[in-house]
A and B are shown apart, each in its own frame.
Chain A
Amino acid sequence: MPDTVALRHPRAEALARLLGLVAFALAVFAAVLLVFGKDPLRAYLDVLAATLGSAYGLSETIVKMIPLVLTALAVAIPGRIWLINVGGEGQLFIGALAATGAALHLAFLPGWLLPVVMAAAGVLGGGLWAAASGVLHARGWVSETISTLLLNYVAVLLVNFAVFGPWRDPEGVNYPQTAELVPAAILPALGTTRVHLGLVFALAALVLWALVMRRTRWGLEVRAIGGNAEAARRAGIPIGRYVVALMFLGGGMAGLAGMAEVSAIQGRLRPSLSPGYGYSGFLIAWMARGHPVGIVAAAFGLAVITAGGDILQMTQALPGSVVNILMAVMLFVVLGREGARR
């Protein structure tokens, strides 16, 4: 057994290393800002002030955090048995599509029921979308990494098809979007903020997942597969079924994120539904290594960065997508850290 030179607090050490990597990514991005002739310190302070400095800013950061926690779960759940789901974005879109379909066709349902049906549709849509990749993997046909990645494009195109075609709002002056959803289809929000019930969904899902892993028979079996698939197979654990089930659950979480965005934020289905929440979720899950508390923390951090894009656009006259550079650097160093452990 290779000796890992006794760490006093392995967890604290890991956290310190992670923070160091994040600091490194911020430094690299600061260099990028300098190249653009901007003051990086000023830019970072602007972002912090705008996101954490006011109750409004904080509430908007939490709004962005909700889908991020869910898409991180979409990666972390299958990741527990080493499945690599890079299809969070597509699953989010399909979830949004299914939820919108429910809202458009079942608009007559009462206000307490319609969101429930929409959420179920979102979970089912995203879940089945991901489960298809799970089946392909379990049969030994296609790697789930490839199929989930490719299905992202299909999902976005399907949403485009819906909003350009059958579901297009007739009064929308040629905007590719559906008509506004009925009020019953809107998730309730907290006070005057845009923080909506999806926050409860996301945190509940996170807690539930942690409990299932720790306490239940299924959790034990999943941990066994993750720890030693060969031993699990020989103990009679149906690995193929778990592959499909965990892909379904993961996809379902991304689908729920899509439903929440449509219902609480957009109020209608648009192709510009997500600024890459699905991809950011991947980054979060890897930063947190699937740990629930880590997911919340990392999701919050990435929410600040996502919001930061808009701030930089306003205060520094930079394109909002410039934060993608920061995210890319972060993903790079985080994956580099994983690689170094092998």
Chain B
Amino acid sequence: MAAPSPPLLALRGVTKAFPGGVRANDRVDLDVHAGEVHALVGENGAGKSTLVKIVYGFVRPDAGQIHVEGRPAMIASPRDARRLGIGLVFQELVQVAAFTVAENIAMFLPDLPAVLDRRAIARRIEATSAAYGLDVDPAAPVWQLSVGERQRVEIVKLLLGGARILLFDEPTRGLAPHEVDSLLRSFGGLRRDGYAVVFITHRLTEVLAGADRITVMRGGVVAGSVLRAAATEAALVSMMFGTTEWGAPTWPPTPPRRSDRPGGAVTVLDHRPAAPPVLELRGVTARPDGYLTGLDAIDLVVRPHEIVGVAGVAGNGQRELGDVILGLEPCAAGVKYLGGEDATRWPVSRARAGGVVFIPEDALGMAAVGDLTILENVALGDTRKYARHGGLTLDWAAAQADLDRSLGRLDVTVPSPATRIGTLSGGNVQRVILARELAREPRLIVAFYPTRGLDVRSAVAARRLMLAARDAGAGVLLISEDLGELFALADRLVVLFRGRIAGEGRPGVITMAQVGHLMTGTAAAARA
């Protein structure tokens, strides 16, 4: 890699400040060579996404130069970037769902003739796909594909479009473990053929498995750049957070064991019948309209002082389950109890007033209003509570106090409460929403992939908070794909597969392998 030729992509002194004075990138230098898989890691808000968007011409830097193949490059728009052979795979894939793979790719090709030769395009797609083990079917309609498959379509699209520098913004987010493995294998093929790959991630295991060089960003600056051979997990973590700030004792992030909580290792049987379950679903069925799957006769109980983990590959009814519990989606059949009361027909507001809180996967899409300030978003969590004079005014001081208290418990900080939340990084938005929801003294927490996309520290804090809420008497329904997280946190696990509960058990009694089989519907595990 220490080739005599100039790096394929070189950044020098790239600086970008956003309105409000947040320095997303501060004099960033970065070299990416041909035949190199380069991982970009760092805490949420460290400036990784901004950096790749600058390279792709999506964000204009305030200062600094970009060189491609040793020549200075003016990248004012994504079109410039593509002409220079730079391609970006976005976190949210931009594709036309109704089109086939071939049509989606054809739209993007620079040399597209006026009359399409479908067969030629399909052949090119198949050839490229085969060369890198991407397994893309040109005839498949995009709406039928999984996230992982759609991502591979993006890669083929960039390669056919002549890209030589491939940027990925958190490509492994939302992928199943085997999909991550195959993505990293594809990176290997690209490396072999002299492409440069830059990918952003939070997961250090992926970095160590797939990258040749690792650049760590912290607070908008490059904290360090190391070769894979010289990197260790501990070294990377200390670079990401600064050793003084994030001492050794908290790493690796081992959450308190179940037995650490007051009362010791209890089983369900120990619960006095006096406390009704915070959530009980009996035979709950939801129609699949508008969703991928419906729910089919779900029986589920969450008791106080209990974390129930819901394992499953995304798209097997998780979203529907959360929506039914919250009251966004009606039960077509069955009964739902919240805190012992029949809540089958409760609207969302009533469920929330009853102590149900919702922690979403995509905070800016599902829980926060980007145009409102942080504080306004906090007040939005419970407008009735903060209303004064019958709603004529709002008690901003109370909202501020709740936010501060909650942030203190989370051990995180966020920018000034008067900042528009849409200008924050994804991780910071998630922190605000976590703080807001946990300030509401929840009785039932429905957590939807709550740590997905969070950096290590925020994820640890979020997990601790869920444990603390459980110890304070709340019930938690933790919907996650991360089996490590589920096994570490959950008192009981259920596995969702195609809208049904395919199996359940206690971590330790049921094994990860069994859960994995249940998740994928592999019959062998039915005995668990």
State A204–B66 Cα separation when bound (angstroms). 56
Known contacts A216-B392, A217-B387, A217-B394; is-contact A235 B59 (Cβ 8 Å): no
Within 8 A of A (CB), among B342-359: 347-353, 358
Chain A contact residue count (CB 8 A cutoff):
25
Q: Are B380 and A220 in contact (CB under 8 A)?
A: yes
State A215–B53 Cα separation when bound (angstroms). 37
Q: Are B348 and A234 in contact (CB under 8 A)?
A: yes
Q: Does B275 contact A (CB under 8 A)?
A: no
Q: Looking at the complex, which one of B53, B60, B351, B368 makes contact with A236 (CB distance below 8 Å)?
A: B351
Q: Are B366 and A234 in contact (CB under 8 A)?
A: yes
Q: Are B391 and A216 in contact (CB under 8 A)?
A: yes
State A233–B364 Cα separation when bound (angstroms). 13
Q: Does B267 contact A (CB under 8 A)?
A: no
Within 8 A of A (CB), among B364-420: 364-372, 376, 379-381, 383-384, 386-387, 391-394
State A316–B328 Cα separation when bound (angstroms). 62
State A1–B169 Cα separation when bound (angstroms). 13
Q: Are A220 and B360 in contact (CB under 8 A)?
A: no
Q: Are B372 and A236 in contact (CB under 8 A)?
A: no
Q: How far does the Cβ of B363 sit from chain A's closest Cβ, in whole Å?
A: 9
Q: Does A224 contact B (CB under 8 A)?
A: yes
Contact partners of A220 in chain B: CB under 8 A? 372, 376, 379-380, 383, 394
Q: Does B4 contact A (CB under 8 A)?
A: no
Q: Are A215 and B394 in contact (CB under 8 A)?
A: yes
Number of A-B residue pairs, CB cutoff 8 Å, is 91
State A18–B393 Cα separation when bound (angstroms). 34
Q: Which residue of A lies closest to B388 (CB)?
A: A217
Indicate with 1 or 0, residue by residue over A226-244, a CB within 8 angstroms of chain B CB atoms: 1110111111111000000
Q: Does A5 contact B (CB under 8 A)?
A: yes
Q: Which residue of A lies closest to B49 (CB)?
A: A1
Q: Are B383 and A231 in contact (CB under 8 A)?
A: no
Q: Which residue of B lies closest to A2 (CB)?
A: B58
Q: How far does the Cβ of A198 sit from chain B's closest Cβ, in whole Å?
A: 26
Contact partners of A5 in chain B: CB under 8 A? 60
Q: Are B369 and A1 in contact (CB under 8 A)?
A: no
Contact partners of B352 in chain A: CB under 8 A? 235-236
Q: Are A238 and B349 in contact (CB under 8 A)?
A: yes
Q: How far does the Cβ of B31 sit from chain A's closest Cβ, in whole Å?
A: 24
Q: Are B351 and A224 in contact (CB under 8 A)?
A: no
State A230–B326 Cα separation when bound (angstroms). 13
Chain B contact residue count (CB 8 A cutoff):
39
Q: Looking at the complex, which one of B347, B367, B379 makes contact with A231 (CB distance below 8 Å)?
A: B367
Contact partners of B380 in chain A: CB under 8 A? 220-221, 224, 231-232, 235, 237
Contact partners of B360 in chain A: CB under 8 A? 234
Q: Which of B360, B367, B386 has its CB near the most chain A CB atoms (within 10 A)?
A: B367
Q: Are B392 and A223 in contact (CB under 8 A)?
A: no
Known contacts A216-B393, A227-B372; is-contact A236 B366 (Cβ 8 Å): no
Q: Are B394 and A228 in contact (CB under 8 A)?
A: no
Q: Are A232 and B369 in contact (CB under 8 A)?
A: yes
Within 8 A of A (CB), among B475-518: none
Known contacts A220-B379, A234-B348, A235-B380; is-contact A227 B371 (Cβ 8 Å): yes
Q: Does A14 contact B (CB under 8 A)?
A: no
Q: Does B264 contact A (CB under 8 A)?
A: no
Q: Which residue of A lies closest to B60 (CB)?
A: A3
Q: Does B19 contact A (CB under 8 A)?
A: yes
Q: Does A6 contact B (CB under 8 A)?
A: yes
State A227–B393 Cα separation when bound (angstroms). 20
Contact partners of B423 in chain A: CB under 8 A? 1
State A205–B446 Cα separation when bound (angstroms). 42
Within 8 A of A (CB), among B307-363: 326, 328, 347-353, 358, 360
Q: How far does the Cβ of A138 sit from chain B's closest Cβ, in whole Å?
A: 14
State A177–B348 Cα separation when bound (angstroms). 51
Within 8 A of B (CB), among A259-306: none
Q: How far does the Cβ of A37 sit from chain B's closest Cβ, in whole Å?
A: 47
Q: Which residue of B lies closest to A223 (CB)?
A: B372
State A292–B217 Cα separation when bound (angstroms). 45
State A231–B421 Cα separation when bound (angstroms). 13
Q: Are A230 and B394 in contact (CB under 8 A)?
A: no
Q: Are B391 and A230 in contact (CB under 8 A)?
A: no
Contact partners of A226 in chain B: CB under 8 A? 371
Contact partners of A234 in chain B: CB under 8 A? 326, 328, 348, 358, 360, 366-367
Contact partners of B353 in chain A: CB under 8 A? 236
Contact partners of B350 in chain A: CB under 8 A? 236
State A223–B377 Cα separation when bound (angstroms). 11
Known contacts A215-B393, A217-B383, A218-B391; is-contact A228 B369 (Cβ 8 Å): yes
Q: Which residue of A lies closest to B385 (CB)?
A: A217
State A226–B370 Cα separation when bound (angstroms). 10
State A116–B380 Cα separation when bound (angstroms). 36
State A6–B352 Cα separation when bound (angstroms). 40
Indicate with 1 or 0, residue by residue over B52-92, a CB within 8 angstroms of chain A CB atoms: 01000011100000000000000000000000000000000
State A226–B391 Cα separation when bound (angstroms). 19
Q: Are A227 and B386 in contact (CB under 8 A)?
A: no
State A233–B351 Cα separation when bound (angstroms). 12
Contact partners of A238 in chain B: CB under 8 A? 347, 349
Within 8 A of B (CB), among A183-230: 215-218, 220-221, 223-224, 226-228, 230
Q: Are B347 and A236 in contact (CB under 8 A)?
A: yes
Contact partners of A224 in chain B: CB under 8 A? 369, 372, 376, 380
State A234–B394 Cα separation when bound (angstroms). 20
State A226–B423 Cα separation when bound (angstroms). 17
Q: Are A216 and B60 in contact (CB under 8 A)?
A: no
Q: Are B383 and A221 in contact (CB under 8 A)?
A: yes
Known contacts A5-B60, A233-B328; is-contact A227 B370 (Cβ 8 Å): yes
State A220–B60 Cα separation when bound (angstroms). 33
Q: Are B367 and A235 in contact (CB under 8 A)?
A: yes
State A237–B387 Cα separation when bound (angstroms). 14
A-B contacts besides A224-B380, A238-B347, 18 pairs, CB < 8 Å: A1-B53, A3-B60, A215-B394, A216-B391, A217-B383, A217-B391, A217-B392, A217-B394, A220-B372, A223-B369, A224-B376, A228-B364, A232-B380, A234-B348, A234-B367, A235-B367, A235-B380, A235-B383
8 closest A-B pairs by beta carbon, nearest first, are: A236-B349, A227-B369, A217-B391, A236-B348, A227-B371, A217-B387, A228-B369, A3-B59
> Can you pick out 10 interface pairs between chain A and chain B where the beta carbons lie within 8 Å of each other?
A1-B422, A6-B19, A217-B386, A220-B372, A220-B379, A223-B371, A232-B380, A233-B328, A233-B348, A234-B366
